[in-house]
Amino acid sequence: MMTDITDLTLADLRDALKAKNVSSLEATDAYLDNIDTAKDLNAFVTVTADKARAMAKASDAKLARNEGGPIEGVPLGVKDLFCTEGVQTTAGSRMLEGFVPPYESSVTANLWRDGAVMLGKLNMDEFAMGSSNETSYFGPVINPWRAKGGNAKLTPGGSSGGSSASVAAHLCAAATATDTGGSIRQPASLTATVGVKPTYGRCSRWGIVAFASSLDQAGPIARDARDAAIMLRSMAGHDPKDSTSVNRPVPDYEKAIGASVKGLKIGVPKEYRLDGMPAEIEKLWAQGIAWMREAGCEIVDISLPLTKYALPVYYIVAPAEASSNLARYDGVRYGHRAREFPDIHSMYANSRAEGFGKEVQRRIMIGTYVLSAGYYDAYYLRAQKVRKRIFDEFNNAFKKVDLILTPSSPSAAFALGEKSADPVQMYLNDVFTVTANLAGLPGASVPAGLDAKGLPLGLQLIARPFDEETMFKGMFALEQAANFKARPERWWG
């Protein structure tokens, strides 16, 4: 009846499963085949084929009785930052190699409750610290997209590079991801996938390996806006085990798909026009503005003058929180322990030096320094005050507009090794995304076009807190106007 099950969107697969036109086991086997022949992409750290087939069979039994959850039988990939009961969870780090959680993260538990099938655990930058996937202990993920006529290996973005690459290459119907400074939206932009970072507090952080707790949020990477809406509905929800999880009902986000955007006010912040930004990105942004205007939106010029300070704030706040969160890795209760040490102090220090990669150590050092006696006020306290001003600036902007439209990332996919020598150059990848994390706002990236080299570029929408529905409306409108159909040409396997 169909050529390839794995080319169905999540929504179409869900409907085909419910109609019994296809079984979950067929879909799961088809995805496992794709994974098997895509080892070149290095997208998975762990493939859970047996578990996937067992879950698929259980789903098929439910579907046969016309039972099952909203995404019953749909095969998904899980970023290796989500703890999965009985399945190794590494956070992309040597520190957690072999760590098998005896519990399940709340977000993944929600997905299994709703019927999803787990294909395996997706590669990522170590402890979600990176924008190119090059900090993973398990080697970088390779972007399925290549420049026209070139064969250089490109980054799928980071830190959720395994999620973005596997969704782009159809190795799963959709994937979970997390975003602390742009780790969902930047990889989505670089792979022509849709990435949604919801409002802080919308998804439970319980069971997700912590990086920077005041910024971390889980969200989906999917093939289109509708699929992302279906995923978020299942992932989100109140959880008493996370005290920052917000207790308010989860709307059926899919209902927002296709709803009219007529009359919505779209803010365009002039400070997102950067010096040295590729002309193609500026052009695409202008195109996006025109698309929203044609769809009946009102375009409003806005100003967010503190934008340029967002990344420096982030590189104080996030390392500070990371240095506290990662203090737990002491080689005692779980994680890597060094073999050689003369005393307990060296046991801690050697275990951590061996277990953590260079970028993670760098950020722990920055965080420890900015929190240390004598520097706390100058760095950390000042950063939290600037963060408050950025938060206020967005609140004021949202008195005038319903959504903010910006580019998602300052460049298309770049070659592995191209930016890894200079940490600050790498950090600049998140220049358009990090503001939403600092202010706790929902943000999403939607594929909008290709650059001259044939590489995808995304546009970002930012919405008011807990107004993901308006964001999905806007995302779908952008998607309809962009009519983006390009797929990476298969070179792997």
Partner 1 sequence: MSVDRETVRKVARLARLAVPEERLEPLTAELNGILKWIEQLNEVDVTGVDPMTSTVDMKLPMREDVLQSGPTGGGQPDNVVKNAPKTEDHFFVVPKVVE
Give the active site residues.
79, 159, 183
**Residue 244 touches partner 1, criterion: CB under 8 A:** yes
**Residue 352 touches partner 1, criterion: CB under 8 A:** yes
What's the min distance (Å) between Cβ of 222 and partner 1? 25
Nearer to partner 1, 356 or 476 (CB): 356
Nearer to partner 1, 202 or 223 (CB): 202
- Residues in contact with partner 1, counted by CB under 8 A, come to a total of 74
**Residue 341 touches partner 1, criterion: CB under 8 A:** yes
- Applying CB under 8 A, the span of 114-122, 219-227, 437-445, 484-492 interacting with partner 1 comes to 437-445
Strand pairing class (403-407; 456-463): antiparallel
What's the min distance (Å) between Cβ of 245 and partner 1? 9
Nearer to partner 1, 227 or 468 (CB): 468
**Residue 65 touches partner 1, criterion: CB under 8 A:** no
Q: Residue 243, class by beta-carbon neighbours within 10 Å (0-12 exposed, 13-18 middle, 19+ buried)?
A: exposed
- Applying CB under 8 A, the span of 179-187, 218-226, 236-244, 472-480 interacting with partner 1 comes to 236-244
**Residue 251 touches partner 1, criterion: CB under 8 A:** no
What's the min distance (Å) between Cβ of 388 and partner 1? 4
Tokens 């959850």, residue located? 69
What's the min distance (Å) between Cβ of 162 and partner 1? 22
**Residue 331 touches partner 1, criterion: CB under 8 A:** yes
Nearer to partner 1, 103 or 491 (CB): 103
Q: Residue 1, class by beta-carbon neighbours within 10 Å (0-12 exposed, 13-18 middle, 19+ buried)?
A: exposed
- What is the distance between the alpha carbons of residues 317 and 367, in angstroms, rounded to a whole number? 8
Nearer to partner 1, 145 or 379 (CB): 379
**Residue 414 touches partner 1, criterion: CB under 8 A:** no
**Residue 200 touches partner 1, criterion: CB under 8 A:** yes
**Residue 404 touches partner 1, criterion: CB under 8 A:** no
**Residue 480 touches partner 1, criterion: CB under 8 A:** no
Give the one residue of 364, 413, 457, 471 binding partner 1; rule: CB under 8 A. 364
Mark residues 83-112: x for contact with partner 1 by CB under 8 A, - for none. Answer: ----------------xxxxxx--------
Give the one residue of 39, 113, 148, 241 binding partner 1; rule: CB under 8 A. 241
What's the min distance (Å) between Cβ of 334 and partner 1? 4
**Residue 366 touches partner 1, criterion: CB under 8 A:** yes
Tokens 């970028």, residue located? 359
**Residue 372 touches partner 1, criterion: CB under 8 A:** yes
- Centre a 10 Å sphere on the Cβ of residue 365 and count the other Cβ atoms it contains: 12
Nearer to partner 1, 466 or 492 (CB): 466
**Residue 440 touches partner 1, criterion: CB under 8 A:** yes
What's the min distance (Å) between Cβ of 378 and partner 1? 7
What's the min distance (Å) between Cβ of 401 and partner 1? 19
